[in-house]
Amino acid sequence: MSERRLADLLTMWRIRAFEEKVRDLRAEGPIVGSVHLCVGQEAIPAGACDVLEPQDALFATYRGHGWALARGVPAEPLFAELMGRATGVNGGRGGSAYFTAAEYGFHGENSIVGAGAPIACGAALAGRFDGSNRAAVTVFGDGAMNQGAVHEAMNFAAAFALPVLFICENNRYSELTPIRDMVRAPRLADRAAAYGMPGHRIDGNDAEAVRFHVRDALEVAREGGGPTLLECMTERLVGHYIGDAETYRQPGELDRIGRREPIVRLREGLLADGVPASAVDAVEGAARAEMERAATSALAAPPADPATAREHLYA
């Protein structure tokens, strides 16, 4: 039991260390442009990706670094992608907010709010015909629940009983605006009923809870039971993007969030269970070391070659 929790901790620390390294690289210059970190939300990819099968398709958003890592995409080509290197997962074409790594079952970030949801329906639909028993997972934020494409996707998946898992990462903000001001019924999971599918609000800061619900929903989905909506409650410990002044925070908010964030919580739980502090903290060390190494190699890689900028537009 504590072994699995240590593995969760490692996944989360790998994500956290990756994101913190990205933040540094963005400050120092090698990474330019808009970057959306998932610091504080690591338990959701950690729990969910643990129970995905290789044939499953995963569609994330611009806040997708953690999902890619949890799905198995190695850190080095991700760093390289963010730095516009030739060795990036997309040779620098995708960037922080729109890369794909289908060879790892990571079918892409998306920078249009809600756009991944209908695409995931298509991946699930394909599974009906290719004998793969594929399920598709689409991840999006609380704000995306108000986008038309997400609604259409939920109805489409439900009407056709497609094996799609809709994971809503409810971090309480859509960019700079609190979701509570943008909806009248704040339990977004309850929207699932509109489509005749199950919806659950779960603790998104607990990888174990996420794993349980994702596994359960995937089982239903693979047996032809159709889609599920999981509203994973979480918080980001950082701004919407790097540079966000976070003026929308309430007094004391970050302190409160910090006390219940998934890594702190899991660490405390492991210690309470008697796992030695050295073993727990070794995880952080290993993760940080891996990310330092990966970033260093990525930094040493050549930049993308401008001569290739026009390639691969058409078959």
Partner 1 sequence: MPDLVEARELSYGEAVNAALHRLMAELPETLVYGEDVGVPGGVFGVTRGLRKRHGDRVFDTPISESAILGSAVGAAMMGRRPIVEIMWADFSLVALDQIVNQAANVRYVSGGRLSAPMTIRTQQGNAPGACAQHSQCLEALFLHVPGLRVVMPSTPQDAYDLLVTAVHCDDPVLVVENRTLYSGPKERVRVGGPVLPLGGARIRRAGWDVTIVTWGAITQRVLEAAEALAREGIEAEVLETPWLNPFDTEAVVESARRTRRLVVVHEANVTGGFGAEVVARVAGAGVPLLAPPVRIGTPDVRMPAAQVLARALVPDSARITAEVRALVRH
Ligand X SMILES: Cc1ncc(C[n+]2csc(CCOP(=O)(O)OP(=O)(O)O)c2C)c(N)n1
Segment 39 to 58, residues that bind partner 1, using CB under 8 A = 57
For the bound state, the minimum distance from the C-beta of residue 306 to partner 1, rounded and expressed in Å, comes to 4
Q: Which of 7, 10, 51, 183 binds a copy of itself (CB under 8 A)?
A: 183
169 bridge partner residues: 141, 232
For the bound state, the minimum distance from the C-beta of residue 311 to partner 1, rounded and expressed in Å, comes to 8
194 bridge partner residues: none
Q: Show the site string, 241-280: x = touches ligand X by CB under 6 A, - = not.
A: ----------------------------------------
Q: Which stretch binds partner 1 (CB under 8 A): 36-44, 86-94, 230-238, 251-259?
A: 86-94
Instruction: Tell me the chain's radius of gyration from C-alpha atoms.
Output: 19
In the block, which residue shows the tokens 């999981």?
230
CB nearer a copy of itself, residue 183 or residue 254: 183
| 95 binding partner 1? (CB under 8 A) | yes
Q: Which pair of tokens denotes residue 215? A: 């596994």
| 152 binding a copy of itself? (CB under 8 A) | yes
| 184 binding a copy of itself? (CB under 8 A) | yes
| 144 binding partner 1? (CB under 8 A) | yes
For the bound state, the minimum distance from the C-beta of residue 200 to partner 1, rounded and expressed in Å, comes to 22
| 283 binding partner 1? (CB under 8 A) | no
What distance in Å separates the CA atoms of residue 78 and residue 17, rounded to the nearest whole number?
13
Nearest residue relative to Mg ion (C-beta): 141
Q: Which of 16, 191, 211, 236 binds a copy of itself (CB under 8 A)?
A: 191
For the bound state, the minimum distance from the C-beta of residue 250 to a copy of itself, rounded and expressed in Å, comes to 20
Q: Which pair of tokens denotes residue 73? A: 């995409």
| 163 binding a copy of itself? (CB under 8 A) | no
| 228 binding a copy of itself? (CB under 8 A) | no
- Tell me, by CB under 8 A, how many residues bind partner 1: 80
Listing DSSP states for 157-216 in one string gives: HHHTT--EEEEEEE-SEETTEEGGGT-SS--GGGGGGGGT--EEEEETT-HHHHHHHHHH
End-to-end C-alpha distance for the chain, whole angstroms = 49
Q: What residues contact residue 78 under an 8 Å CB cut-off, 6+ apart?
A: 18, 65, 68, 69, 88, 89, 99, 294
Q: How far from 219 is each of 81, 85, 116, 214, 222, CA to CA, in Å?
A: 34, 39, 22, 9, 5
Segment 118 to 177, residues that bind Mg ion, using CB under 5 A = 141-142, 171, 173
Q: What letter represents residue 240's amino acid?
A: H
| 117 binding ligand X? (CB under 6 A) | no
In the block, which residue shows the tokens 């030695």?
276
What distance in Å separates the CA atoms of residue 165 and residue 217, rounded to the nearest whole number?
7
Q: Which of 176, 193, 194, 279 binds partner 1 (CB under 8 A)?
A: 176
What distance in Å separates the CA atoms of residue 218 and residue 142, rounded to the nearest whole number?
21
**SS3 of 233, please?**
strand
Q: Which stretch binds ligand X (CB under 6 A): 110-118, 224-232, 262-270, 291-299?
A: 110-118
Backbone angles phi, psi at 174, to 5 degrees: -105, 105
Which residues bind to ligand X, rule: CB under 6 A? 63, 111-113, 140-144, 169, 171, 173-175, 240
Which residues bind to a copy of itself, rule: CB under 8 A? 146-149, 151-152, 155-156, 158-159, 161, 181-185, 190-191, 193-197, 226
